[in-house]
A and B are shown apart, each in its own frame.
Chain A
Amino acid sequence: MIALGAIVAAGLVTALGVRDAVALDLVFTLLLYAVLGQSWNWISGYAGNISFGHAIFFGCGAYASALMVTHGLSPWLAIPAGAVAAAALAIVTGFPTLALRGHYFSIATIAVAAIVDALVRTQPWLGRATGFELPIASGWAALQFADKGPYIVLALVLFAAVQIATIALERSRLGYYLRALRANHAAAAAVGIDERSWKLLAFAWSAVIASCAGVLYAQYTLFVDPPSTIALGVSIDIALIGVVGGIGTLWGPAVGALVYVVLAKGVALELGGTGKGYDLVIYGAIICVIAALRPHGIVGTIVDGLRRRRGALELGAAAATGGAA
């Protein structure tokens, strides 16, 4: 919690103090990806069902925003509308698939995402392949700002809320049941934990979070189309952020987002202009190394290390007291 407070404070200072548009853009992107990564973490990390189609929920929020605005309604309505759509989509698609074992579920998420993508491209009311451009506006009512500051404040609020929600998840009954299910399906079922219902709950919530990020994205970028919001590439980016940081950890997604932003932007700046895809090579190599040597991701490894140290200390203390006693 202290860490969270520090980050929020730093973020607010940045939002109010820094004027550099490029830096602010990096901060905003970082926060947005961290939120998306965390939403993915709920279903893939805590619940253990690895999703490669998470972008469709992000798209729910983005498209909700675009639709509201182009129909003359307030973009604030997109938050509940997108959330409802995302939750509904999660429940409808999760109900049949969440009980599937491992790889079957992952491929099911790809299948669902592909169906959604194909449907969006054929529906005129969803903009088909052209997508939507949001007209320029300003002010809190329009949820659009000329200055970046308010966007970062909103992103911070979202990020803080999601982190707090994740802490709550870890300590809640849902979190407990999810951990039990991950540890041993059969034992959990024997104790009466209904896998499907609890995972559906986690899935729906993760969809809602992603949708909120989608609304903010749409109001920031002012452009929504299938390749930038619901394509397989976007789902893969989200998944990679979660993995690199550390699946199933509180701060994993944030760290993963940091790595992603630094790498993607940094490499593009330094090596950009050659058109050679070096950034992909570096990114892929890092993931391979992490997967082979440090499968719990960056944060996971740190957590493991801390646990082991604490364990050793406790053992030492016990030995000392035991010896003394």
Chain B
Amino acid sequence: MAVRCRGERADLADAGVEALTTFAQLLVGGLLTGLVFALVAVGLTLVYGVMDVVNFAHGEFLMLAMYATLGLALLGLGPLLGLPLAVIAMFLFGIIVYRVFVRRLLAGPPEATVFGTFGLLVLMQGLAQAVFSSDFLSVPNPPFAGTIRFAGLAVSQASVVEGCGALILTALLFAFVEYTETGRAMRAVAEDRIAATLMGIDVQRINGLAFGIGAACVGAAGALLMLSYPVYPTAGVPFALTAFVVVALGGFGSISGALVAALLVGMLEVFGGFYLSPELKLVPVYLAYLVVVLVRPQGLLGRR
């Protein structure tokens, strides 16, 4: 009798430990997933904060950065080595797109930016298909292919690298906006464009820089994502959709908000997938967005 009780208790204890391990694994997975979302979202929120533009082609910028990283990798520069080049290339691309296109959109009615960037989405997807075909392309032999084990949990090295990248990028961007003169100018433009102009700030230049930096952020994101994902013309779409929700949830324009929201979304998706159903795992994410913007229309940490 005593032996059987102990056996049952041991089984229950085992089950408890297993459930806890699973929970912890999901928690870690959710955090890392959230960090990937943050990686993609920070560039988007900066652009909105400064010039009130949601770049609906954000996913396509990501896709372009991924193709660029692949190209560099095929030339011999692995994703991490190619990252600085990808960042610079995307920065320049962002500035050009702003000068040639987005600036004109800003001069028109408010819906022009929505549809202009949507047109850009369609154009870039079409070009990607025409130039690269719709094949799935991966970086051959990517680094960080291993697993890290600790405390009974396991995570892939690549996702840890991506997570660190996200934190570094967010911190850098935050520091830039808070502590540099250009960053302060951006905040000024974000707060009150007319007053900023009166203060002598060249709004067009700031806008262009913001757009370029936003694109550069996405460049870093694309380079890191190539550690784990193949690229194809519509590869950016699922990341972009989540990024839009993250940015809106965190509050358009708030970098810290984007990080917090991204982590929240990552957890909701992973826990939703396990405790609800994998098919419906995005439902809690979208529901959370709807609830938050209802209760707090400016998002979790947004202004106004």
Considering the complex, give the chain B residue whose CB is closest to the CB of A294. Answer: B108
Interface string of A286-312 (1 = CB under 8 A from B): 111011110110000000000000000
* SS class, residues of chain B in contact with chain A: helix
Considering the complex, give the chain B residue whose CB is closest to the CB of A48. Answer: B111
Q: Is the CB of A240 within 8 A of B245?
A: no
Q: Is the CB of A118 within 8 A of B283?
A: yes
Q: Is the CB of A106 within 8 A of B109?
A: no
* SS class, residues of chain A in contact with chain B: helix
Taking the nearest CB of chain B, how far is it from the CB of A207, in angstroms? 18
- Among A101, A118, A119, A292, residue most surrounded by chain B Cβ atoms (within 10 Å): A292
Contacts of B290 in A (CB 8 A): 96-97, 108, 111-112
Considering the complex, give the chain A residue whose CB is closest to the CB of B277. Answer: A122
Alpha-carbon distance A101/B114, docked complex (angstroms): 13
Q: Is the CB of B118 within 8 A of A236?
A: yes
Alpha-carbon distance A96/B295, docked complex (angstroms): 10
CB < 8 Å neighbour of B126 from A108, A118, A236, A278: A278
A112-B286, A284-B123, A287-B118 given as contacts; is B112 within 8 A of A295 (CB)?
A: yes
Contacts of B74 in A (CB 8 A): none
Alpha-carbon distance A281/B126, docked complex (angstroms): 5
Contacts of A102 in B (CB 8 A): 110
CB < 8 Å neighbour of B241 from A101, A110, A296: A110
Q: Is the CB of B119 within 8 A of A281?
A: no
Taking the nearest CB of chain B, how far is it from the CB of A181, in angstroms? 14
Considering the complex, give the chain B residue whose CB is closest to the CB of A114. Answer: B286
Q: Is the CB of B129 within 8 A of A277?
A: yes
Q: Is the CB of B110 within 8 A of A104?
A: no
Q: Is the CB of B289 within 8 A of A107?
A: yes
Q: Is the CB of A290 within 8 A of B119?
A: yes
A243 within 8 A of B: yes
Q: Is the CB of B104 within 8 A of A293?
A: yes
Scan residues 121-180 of chain B and give those whose CB is less than 8 A from a CB of chain A: 121-130, 133-134
Q: Is the CB of B289 within 8 A of A291?
A: no
Q: Is the CB of A284 within 8 A of B130?
A: no
For the complex of A and B, the 4 pairs showing the least CB-CB separation, nearest first, are: A284-B123, A280-B126, A287-B119, A277-B129
A-B contact pairs, 11 of them (CB 8 A): A96-B290, A106-B114, A110-B244, A114-B241, A122-B279, A122-B280, A239-B115, A240-B119, A280-B125, A284-B122, A292-B105
Residues of chain B having any CB pair with chain A under 8 Å: 48, 54, 101, 104-105, 108-116, 118-130, 133-134, 233, 241, 244-245, 248, 252, 277, 279-280, 282-283, 286-287, 289-290, 293-294, 297
Starting from the known contacts A110-B244, A111-B245, A114-B286, 18 additional A-B residue pairs (CB-CB under 8 Å) come to A97-B290, A103-B54, A104-B248, A106-B54, A110-B241, A115-B283, A119-B283, A232-B241, A240-B118, A240-B119, A277-B233, A281-B126, A281-B130, A290-B119, A291-B105, A292-B116, A293-B104, A295-B105
